[in-house]
Amino acid sequence: MVSFDVDSLFTKVPINDVLEFLANKLPECDIDLGVDSEEPSQREWERVGEEISRAFGDIGFVYLTNHGIQQKKIEEINQLSGEFFQLDEATKLKYKRGVQAMQGYSAPNQERLTNAPGTHELRESYDVQEVGGVLPDAEVAALRPSLTDFAAHLQLLTSRLLTAMAVGLGLERSYFTSKHEKMGSSENTTCIRMLYYPPVPAHVSPGTTRIAPHTDYGTITLLFQDDVGGLEVRDRADAWVSAEPLPGTVLVNVGDILQFWTADKFRATEHRVLIPSTEVQRSVARRSLVFFVHPDDDVLIKPLDGSSRYSPVTAKAHTQKRFAETYQH
């Protein structure tokens, strides 16, 4: 994260650099809505709803502070998932996910977010749609109970976010939460993704990236980054802005479905993860945890303003189409 010494800001730092820093900084929102205490006041719901709506309508991303999920839980799951990703390839492939059956392991290049010839995407992942589903219990026994606890906290935080979004849009508080009641089941494609970006070899093939530019498929995405960094977001001026890891925050962004739903009021923004340029960053693994939030499979998504800007589509049909476009058998 870039920082400036306020006392010497205008004497030591060129003003153009200051303006660029201020322009590129992604917005933040304190979401201290009493996740672990009493019901928030209407004023607090409105404050958070307005701040999130402003961020989602502009760059489509926002850092949340005071989100209620302890950093030690993030570190615990990253450590446990790291144990899995260090296993031999044959063992990991026993848990390979399918194109539509989403629970399981994805090897490098199994998910391709670009169709450009000669490109490679250097990452591994494990998707968890149901904490009671297939997991590598024999190899990493502690992973399932840790994910079970994490999923409960994620769903509570997501419920608060969905409520605040509805308030910000002037809808009934329960509008979005009522469309996401089956998270964690086979009737909703919401999932936890454990991501592992291995150290970059000294000589990588031309066209190699970690994640190609893309938008997410669902309603919103919650991202917990480690301190390695590399995520970039495309802003409205078509420039790539660094989404630096901020300690203690979760980075939330708009997915395709929410952009359809809000008739472009909220923006699903392209983002990517590049190969690091520095030798130190290239020599270490990068890990992150992602919570992809989707409506229940049978929810029909159509613009809230009644326009014909987008054709109605069920949440399941939209997600299956995107999986078919990006996953390799």
pLDDT at residue number 20: 38
DSSP per residue, 57-118: HHTSEEEEES-S--HHHHHHHHHHHHHHHTS-HHHHHTTB--SSS--EEE-TTTB-S---TT
State what percent of residues in the chain have pLDDT above 90. 69
pLDDT confidence bin for 16, thresholds 50/70/90: very low
pLDDT confidence bin for 154, thresholds 50/70/90: very high
Q: Which domain holds residue 125?
A: 28-326
Higher per-residue pLDDT: 178 or 121? 178
Sign of CA dihedral 216, 184, 288, 74: positive
Cα dihedral 136, 121, 229, 62 in deg (nearest 10): -90
Of the candidates 283, 289, 284, the one whose C-alpha atom is nearest the C-alpha of residue 249 is 289
Q: Is the pLDDT of residue 18 over 50?
A: no
User: pLDDT averaged over the chain?
Assistant: 87
The answer to whether 247 touches 70, Cβ cutoff 8 Å, is no
The count of structural domains within the chain is 1
Rounded Cα distance, 30 and 102, in Å: 33
pLDDT confidence bin for 281, thresholds 50/70/90: low
**The amino acid at 28:** E
In a domain, 10, yes or no: no
pLDDT at residue number 275: 76
Distance (Å) of CA 326 to CA 18, 40, 198, 236: 39, 40, 21, 25
Q: Is the pLDDT of residue 5 over 80?
A: no
pLDDT at residue number 27: 96
- How many other C-beta atoms can be found within 10 angstroms of the C-beta atom of residue 198? 15
pLDDT confidence bin for 41, thresholds 50/70/90: confident
pLDDT at residue number 11: 41
Tell me the whole-structure pTM to 2 decimals: 0.88
List the CATH number of the domain containing 264. 2.60.120.330
pLDDT at residue number 32: 82
Find the helix or strand (DSSP H, E) in which 144 lies.
Answer: helix 143-168
In a domain, 15, yes or no: no
pLDDT at residue number 23: 44
pLDDT confidence bin for 70, thresholds 50/70/90: very high
In a domain, 3, yes or no: no
Q: Is the pLDDT of residue 117 over 90?
A: no
Higher per-residue pLDDT: 108 or 132? 132
In a domain, 241, yes or no: yes
Rounded Cα distance, 31 and 28, in Å: 9
Find the helix or strand (DSSP H, E) in which 324 lies.
Answer: helix 315-326
In a domain, 317, yes or no: yes
In a domain, 19, yes or no: no
In a domain, 322, yes or no: yes
Which residues lie across from 125 on neighbouring strands?
106, 195
pLDDT at residue number 194: 98
In a domain, 20, yes or no: no
- For 68, phi then psi, to 5°, come to 90, 0
What pLDDT, in 10s, does the model give residues 181-230? Answer: 999 999 999 999 999 988 877 777 655 778 888 999 999 999 999 888 78
